[in-house]
Chains A and B, each alone.
Chain A
Amino acid sequence: MAAAPSKTQILSLYRQLIKNSKQFTNYNFREYFLRKSRLEFKQNMLQQDPVKVNELVSKANEELAVLKRQAIVSQLYTFDKTVVEPLDTHHKKH
């Protein structure tokens, strides 16, 4: 069985999840994936069991693949901004 992933690897995985979640153009999807990534990592922060950690990491990797694909798909469609989103940051970036 593979050794438990290092802290660096897990942080890198988390970084990628956050970065890819932010790619979503739709506010609801974006916030949902950010929330989900944060919650799942925080919940399992103190997980010591290497078998469990491996399981969680491989699950997160699968989800990252889905996230990457869906983030691109989401960019193919335009969405209206919701009222809770600040308009100025949007204008600054585009």
Chain B
Amino acid sequence: MLRSVLRVASLRVSSPSSAMAMKSGAIVGSRMIHYSMSNRTPGAQFQKLQPIRFYSAAASNLSKDDVLTRVKDVIKTFNKNTDAEKISLETAFNKDLGLDSLDTVELLVAVEEEFEIEIPDKIADDLKTVGETVEYILSNPESN
């Protein structure tokens, strides 16, 4: 997950000495050295840089209904004979949809693609119903 937060805030040069200017310049880059050299007045302040957040840290805001509808769509694409109306949270892959263990694996790979997540092997082996799958998707912060 890429959550980069730029924390170059309130950089301040209180001393006009070139040693200090070099020190702060070394951290930020050569351009900063140039800037501090030309501003030798005591107490010169750099413009305050606001922190920038590139990626939202908020948890995914998927609703349970949305997830269920999308899982239903995936199942429908996977097995054209399935009646999407009959799929509910209680639907079991094996008993109700007639999928064997290999089909279930394939279906879960399709679900992974739809929500752009990776379901670890151990969890994937335990997902037996639509409801369990929906719950897992909701609990995964990376799903979208």
Q: B-contacting residues of A (Cβ < 8 Å)? A: 7-8, 11-12, 14-15, 18-19, 22, 38, 41-42, 45
In the complex, what residue of chain A is closest to B118 when comparing beta carbons? A19
Residues of A within 8 A of B108 (CB): 15
For this complex, 12 residue pairs linking A to B, each with C-beta atoms less than 8 Å apart, are A8-B121, A8-B125, A11-B102, A11-B121, A12-B121, A14-B105, A15-B121, A15-B124, A18-B105, A18-B109, A41-B102, A45-B102
Nearest chain B CB to A90's CB is how many angstroms away?
13
Among B100, B109, B124, which residue has its beta carbon within 8 angstroms of that of A45?
B100
A18 CA / B103 CA spacing, docked (Å): 11
| Size of B's binding interface in residues, CB under 8 A | 11
**B residues neighboring A (CB under 8 Å):** 100-102, 105-106, 108-109, 113, 121, 124-125
CA distance A42 to B101 in the complex (A): 10
**Distance, CA A15 to CA B106, complexed state (A):** 7
Picked from B101, B105, B109, the residue with its CB within 8 Å of the CB of A22 is B109
A91 to B86, CA, bound (A): 31
Contact of B102 among A8, A19, A42 (CB under 8 A): A42
